[in-house]
Every structure is written in C-alpha cells, then in structure tokens.
Structure 1
Amino acid sequence: MALVSAGSIRFHVQQLPSCVRRDEPPGSARERPVVVFLHGLVVDNLSSFYCPLALPAARAGHEVVLYDLRGHGRTERPATGYDSRTAVRDLFGVLGALGLGGRRLHLVGNSHGGTLALHAALARPDLVAGLTLLEPPLSGAWVENMVDTLSAAALSLEDSPVPAELLSLRLRKAANLTAIADALLNRTTLIDDIAASRTFTPADYARLRCPVLIVCGEHSELVPGAVELARHAADRVVALEILPGLGHDVLKETSGTLRAAVLAHLDASAVVAASGSRIGALVP
C-alpha cells in the first residue's frame, strides 16, 4: 500500500509500471499518456479496476495509476470537499505528488468517476489526451435520484448495529465497507456536495477535443445521457459502445468485450496524442 499527500489529505495510491512491448523502441512507453482510473461512489474503490482493466492496461504497455478518491477506501476521510472541483484538484495533486505533474493523461472513469473524468477533461484540455467513460451519469435526473438513494441509505445506516453484527460473524470486508458508507453518508458533506453539483450542458460537450469512448449496458438508464453527449460533441470525437444484456454493471462483464474495447481505445488514443491530432482520428 502506498500513501501520498496531496493538499492536506493522504491518498491511497497504486502504480503499475508499463510492461515493455516488443514492437516499441526503448523509452516510448513514457511518451504514452498515463492511464488514471477513477472509481465510483461510496462502497467503490480502486480495487474494482485492478484485475478487469488496470493490469491488462499495464501489460499492454501503459503506465497506470489507481487511487482511492477522497473519503473512499484507504484514503483519508475529511468532513468536506466532495464536489467535482475539489475532486479535479485532488486528481492533479495526487499526480503531482507522484512526480507525474504535466504528463498527458488518459482518464478511465466508472459511474461517478466518469463524471469526474469529464470535469477534468474540460478543466485541463491541455493535459487530458483521452477519456474512457464507463456508465457515466450525466443528467440532472440522475443527480436527483442518486441524492434520494444516498439519503435513504444514510438514514438506514445511522446508529445501525449492522457493522458490529457483521464483525461478529467474521465478515470483516462487509463490515468495513458498511462502516465506510456510514461515515461518508452521515459524517461528511458528500450528499450535499452531490446535490449541488453542476450538470453538464451541450456547450460543455461541444468543447471536448480529446477522443472519448463511452461504454454502457444495454439496459442502463444512463444510455440517453451518453447519446446526448455523443450528439453534441464535436464531429467524430465520441465512440459509444453498448454491451448487450447488461445494466449499470459493465465492469462485471466477463467475456473480455469490455477489456478489448478499452485496450483498443487506449492504444488508439496514445497514437492520436503522439501525433498531435485531436479530432477525427478514432471514430469512423
């Protein structure tokens, strides 16, 4: 486990060095964007990416960074700062602490992590060379539904005996996740910060200039938002892939379809970044 300080917070970080590819000259891996993974809310953490995508990306020749977001996993849990602007500042602070400040990035975000990745791309288009968004929640309706869901969960966890009962049953991992959820929902501003978050506009999508892959499950309620992003983005920037039979759970896809799509997009985005081209190089 590695802990790095960014601002006043210690973040749990994992780095995976790129494997040397036989078809590339020495040192070329460093010219590729660093692939940074951003996970979802509350009970999620960096581990959800580790085997499905992070290890395969490193083995394919990409330098990889994973970290637990503020308040999640093994990262410290301050009472405030769960808004998107602070999350973007955390991202670049973590990378700076790792000595990666100024490097080009490819951001891979799952669920809420996808919205953070998009905010980062809009804030720093000079550094974000590519995006992979898995089930990104982009609409105001999602924000309202999520706030309602999190508020209900907070009430059910407040003063709940469940963590102690899980420990008594030696279900340590479940107890730990439940305790983290309770702390995030009842002792931080996370719910209020999510409720106050700014939703994206067509004008935001039109400003995107890096290649974007969006992956959604066929039965996901988030597909319309992904289609809206693709419709308003600049021509040939966004590729949208719908995985049949899935909902808001594409990371659980086990056939290798997701992994193949993401690795292909990482490779193609790296080529675009190296060539200096921004639009029209990836999406037919």
Structure 2
Amino acid sequence: MAFLDLDGLTVHVQRLGPQDGGPPAATAVLLHGLLTDSLASFYFTLAPALSAAGVEVLMYDQRGHGRSGRPATGYRLEQFVDDLEALLDRLELTGPVHLLGNSFGGTVAFGLAARRPEQVVSILAVESEPASPAWAAKLDVLLRRAERELPQDATLAWVTEQHGAHTARLARSASRLLSGTTLARDIPASLLPAEAELRAIRCPVLAVYGTESDLAEQSDWLDELLPGCRSTFVAGQEHSVLIEAPDVVRELALFWLQEHGAELRDPTARLEGRVG
C-alpha cells in the first residue's frame, strides 16, 4: 500500500507484481466506478488472478473514493483522467498498458485512450460507456437522485434488507461524498470528447454487459462507434457484473489479455479460444 501526492491530491495506490517474481507479461491498470466503489472491488475479485498469471497490476482509489483524498470540488471527468495521467507519469509507466474499467472507470479509460492513444494497448470496459451528451444527462439524473435519496432512513433500510449491512455502509459513505463535495454537479458538467475523438480510438475494446442491464442496449452503437470494439454479455446480470459474477469477469480478462499479447505464465491461466 502506498500514498502518493499528485498535484496536492493524496492518492491511495496498490501495485501487485507478478506472483512468480518474473518480468511482467503485461501491465494492467484497474479503474473502479463511482460512489460505492473503490479499488477493493478489484483487489478481491480480479487483481489476484492477473498477478498469478504474471501481469503487473496497478489499482488506485479515484479522487473522493476509498482512502484517497476527498477535495470539496474538482470532480469533472477530465480531472479523473488527469489523475490517471499523473499517476502513470509519477510511477514512470511510460510503456503501453491495458485498461480495465468498471462502470465510470471504463469512462475514464476511454478518456485516456482518446488523449494518449499510443499508451493504451486495449480496454476492457465492464458495464461502461464513453462520455457523451447522453451519458452526461443520464449521470445528472442518477447522481441527483442519489444525492436526494441516500440520506433517507427508508432508503438505507431497504439497502440493508436487500443487499446487506456492508452495502449499506457503502451507501452511507456515498451519501457523505455527495453531500460534502460538488461531484453530483461536476460530473454532468464534464468536458465531453467530440464524437470524432472517440471514433479515433483504435485500440481493441471489449465491452462487457449484463443481459438485464440498461446499458446492454447500447452495444450496437458502441460497436459501430469504435472500430476495434466488440461486445459480450453475462447472462442474468444487471449492472453489478464485477461483483456478482467475478469468475466470469476473471475468465474474460485473462482471455482478453492473452489475445492481445500477454504471455500468461500461470498454467491455470493458459486459456484456449477467444472472447466472443
């Protein structure tokens, strides 16, 4: 565990090298989502399998989340992308990296790929999408609703009943983040990439959706927008694919990295076939 200062923001970073101590087969940066998410979601699901396969893994808590600093302002998408750029530079990760993003983390990944195309080998985006006017409008509605409803006792009681005490604690933390910062207003006001900038993203992209998720219907649009994109679906899942179906996500990620140049060393990670 480490804490780095990035232009005045304290960032909590976890870095896992290959478990066998050998040279990395690839470098993967794992990017978590908004509000109730943190690097812990990857630490207990995907990261150990990647490290066992010989992959160098970089995870960090995004601004306002987990153990990273929580400034009162400064939550536009471009500032999250700035943080990722600064972190890669600070750690001297100048070579190509694979970006694996969950929800909003995938949106950050697309932002870096548009800004630094030469540094991104591939993107695996779980229940995610690039920033667009429709994305900003949707996040405006969702964040304002969360800001209004999460502090209510009835909401927390329902979360506890349906999802357990741990998720309720995450919901309380998300409520404090929303009430104590400008995140709910900053995200919808983000500087959005032009469609031409998104179409210029040429790295391979695997978009993973739950079949019951509202995002699944955007797959045709995203496949058309990004020349190197293809979609795959996890049956019976909604938005929380990473947490609810971690074994599937691990298998997809290992397939994906192997397909795109990673010579995985762990025998259990030597997979046959392709992601479809």
Which TM-score tier does this pair reach, normalised by the shorter chain?
0.7 to 0.9
1:119 to 111, 116, 123: 111
Tell whether the 8 Å contact from 1:238 to 1:283 is kept in structure 2 after alignment: no
Q: How many residues align?
A: 258
Match in the other structure for 1:128: 120
Structure 1 residues 37-52: aligned runs within 5 Å:
37-52=30-45
User: Does the alignment pair 1:242 with 2:200?
Assistant: no
Q: Give distance in 1, aligned partners of 2:235 and 2:171.
A: 31
Quote the offset at 1:179 in angstroms. Answer: 4.7
Give the secondary structure class of the aligned counterpart of 2:252. helix
Task: State the one-letter code of the partner of 1:106.
Answer: H
Bigger shift: residues 57-66 or 151-160: 151-160
Quote the offset at 1:45 in angstroms. Answer: 0.4
Q: Normalised by the size of structure 1, how large is the TM-score?
A: 0.80
Q: Give distance in 1, aligned partners of 2:142 and 2:12.
A: 27
Q: Give distance in 2, aligned partners of 1:176 and 1:54.
A: 23
Match in the other structure for 1:104: 96
Give the secondary structure class of the aligned counterpart of 1:15. strand
Q: Give distance in 2, aligned partners of 1:58 and 1:155.
A: 40
Q: 1:159 to 1:239 in 2, by over 3 A?
A: closer
Tell whether the 8 Å contact from 1:81 to 1:189 is kept in structure 2 after alignment: yes
Match in the other structure for 2:209: 216
Structure 2: 5+ residue stretches without partners:
157-163, 264-273
Match in the other structure for 2:267: none
Quote the offset at 1:152 in angstroms. Answer: 2.6
Q: Give distance in 1, aligned partners of 2:144 and 2:190.
A: 16
1:144-163 CA distance string (max 9 Å, x none): 23322321322345698999
Structure 1 residues 1-284: aligned runs within 5 Å:
1-20=1-20, 27=23, 29=24, 32-97=25-90, 99-138=91-130, 140-157=133-150, 177-199=170-192, 202-234=195-227, 237-254=228-245, 256-271=247-262
Compute the RMSD of aligned alpha carbons.
2.9
Q: Give distance in 2, aligned partners of 1:48 and 1:124.
A: 26
Percentage of pairs with the same residue: 35
Q: Give distance in 2, aligned partners of 1:136 and 1:162.
A: 25
Q: Give distance in 1, aligned partners of 2:17 and 2:154.
A: 42
Give the secondary structure class of the aligned counterpart of 2:224. helix
